[in-house]
Amino acid sequence: MVAASWHIAAKDLRLCLVRGGGLVQALLLGLLLLFVFSLSQQVGETMSAQGAAAIFWLSSAFCQVLVFNMLYSLEEVNASRLGLLLMPAPVQAVWLGKGLAGLVLLLLAQLIFLPASVVFLGQHIGAAWPQALLMLFLVDVGMAALGSLLGALSQGQAARESLLSIVLFPLLVPLLLAGIRVGSAAFAAAMPEGAASWMGIAAAFDALFCGAGIVLFSFIYAGDD
């Protein structure tokens, strides 16, 4: 199953990164959000670290919606979903492959969003950056696990981006809170409660939704429309 997942992820990444159109759209939307929120400051004013971290994760969340819609639409627009389903591997390999591809694309997008947050929102990276980096990875894993599970359900629907957003965003709240809290510490804000408890929540979320993905994906991703 893991080998099949790698193949699916590699195929999706090649399609997305060679064509580039989908990721460019997600990147532009995230950057636009960062820029628009930077307008909420007066000239010379610096945004709070927590505010900046919230905007960073908001951009990432919208980016994630576009990324997973793009990943699942690769098969839909070519009417080749059955091809994936006939692959000699468990259907969960599709969930894992799409999740891996989504994780890579999200991390690539955040490579752009992070410096953009520093520039547009007037932040600087503090001493807590190693734990923030670990938290960023944990949050991204959870976002990819849930995004890959729910990304499949909105395929074939009109306004699938908005549909996925309204289902996905509320479920992501625990992860986003964890990311914002530890992210704000990376932007030099104090975090009296420490990062460990937030990491525990993010890790629990990852474990829960990786399990849910493995169990539930086969119900969503089937041959019927």
Closer Cβ to another protein, 12 or 206, answer by number: 206
Q: Is 188 in the site for another protein (CB under 8 A)?
A: no
User: Would you count residue 113 as binding another protein (CB under 8 A)?
Assistant: no
Judged by CB under 8 A, does residue 207 bind another protein?
A: no
Q: Does 167 bind another protein (CB under 8 A)?
A: yes
CB of 13 or CB of 149, closer to another protein: 149
**Separation between Cα atoms, residue 153 and residue 126, nearest integer Å:** 40
Under the binding rule (CB under 8 A), the answer on residue 204 touching another protein is: yes
Q: Give yes or no for residue 150 binding another protein (CB under 8 A).
A: yes
| Residue 187 lies near another protein (rule: CB under 8 A) | no
Task: Please identify, using beta-carbon distances, which residue of 26 and 160 lies nearer to another protein.
Answer: 160
In whole angstroms, give the CA distance from residue 184 to residue 50.
5
Residue 85 binds another protein (CB under 8 A): no
**Binding window for another protein (CB under 8 A); candidates: 3-11, 28-36, 65-73, 175-183:** 175-183
Three state DSSP letters for the chain:
CHHHHHHHHHHHHHHHHHHCHHHHHHHHHHHHHHHHHHCCCCCCCCCCHHHHHHHHHHHHHHHHHHHHHHHHHHHHHCCCHHHHHCCCCCCHHHHHHHHHHHHHHHHHHHHHHHHHHHHHCCCCCCCCHHHHHHHHHHHHHHHHHHHHHHHCCCCCCCCHHHHHHHHHHHHHHHHHHHHHHHHHHHCCCCCCCCCHHHHHHHHHHHHHHHHHHHHHHHHHCCCCC
Q: Please state, in angstroms and rounded to a whole number, the distance separating the CA atoms of residues 191 and 13.
A: 37
Q: Which of 181, 183, 186, 195 binds another protein (CB under 8 A)?
A: 181
Among 71, 93, 132, 178, binds another protein (CB under 8 A): 178
Give whichever of 16 and 98 is closer to another protein, judged by the CB atom: 98
220 binds another protein (CB under 8 A): yes
List residues binding another protein (CB under 8 A): 146, 149-150, 153, 157, 163, 166-167, 169-171, 173-174, 177-178, 181, 191-193, 197-198, 201, 204-205, 208-209, 212, 216, 219-220, 222, 224-225
